[in-house]
Amino acid sequence: VTDKTRYGAVISIFGAVITILINALFIPKWGYYASACATLCAYGSMMILSYRIGRKYYPIPYNFRKISFYLGTSVVFSILSFYVFNRNLITGSAFLLLFLFLVYKMENQTLKKIFISLVKRAN
């Protein structure tokens, strides 16, 4: 929108450098765990850079309260599913359905608007 695509390339290179450095330094000691940590650090830093740069050139009014609710709910459901219910498939599926139901209830009006616009566009 603002013709700042070069920032995307810079952010991607920054993430690649972080990934390579963490992998080179920690894979000999930690193995695959280091790769997972490198990926988390790279994507997290790229997300923060994208947000900070984007806020300067094309600010988007994110609803951080809703984002935090969805993130927190999914983390709690994951922890319960993996550690309390010992990775039980039925319980995990129930948590997923409950999460999708919560999203549907909270985003019902927005989902209807999106669906109506898609139907209009298809006709």
Question: What pLDDT sits at residue 38?
Answer: 97
Domain spans, the chain: 1-61, 63-123
Query: What is the model's pTM?
Result: 0.71
> For residue 81, what is the enclosing H or E element?
none
CB neighbourhood size of 48 (10 A): 11
Distance CA 10, CA 4 (A): 11
Q: Interior CA angle at 11 toward 47 and 72, to 5°?
A: 5
Per-residue pLDDT of the chain (123 residues; tens, 9 = 90+): 567 789 999 999 999 999 999 999 999 999 999 999 999 999 999 999 999 998 988 888 999 999 999 999 999 999 999 999 999 999 999 999 999 999 999 999 999 999 999 999 987
Question: What pLDDT sits at residue 57?
Answer: 84
Q: Is the dihedral of CA 86, 87, 88, 94 positive or negative?
A: positive
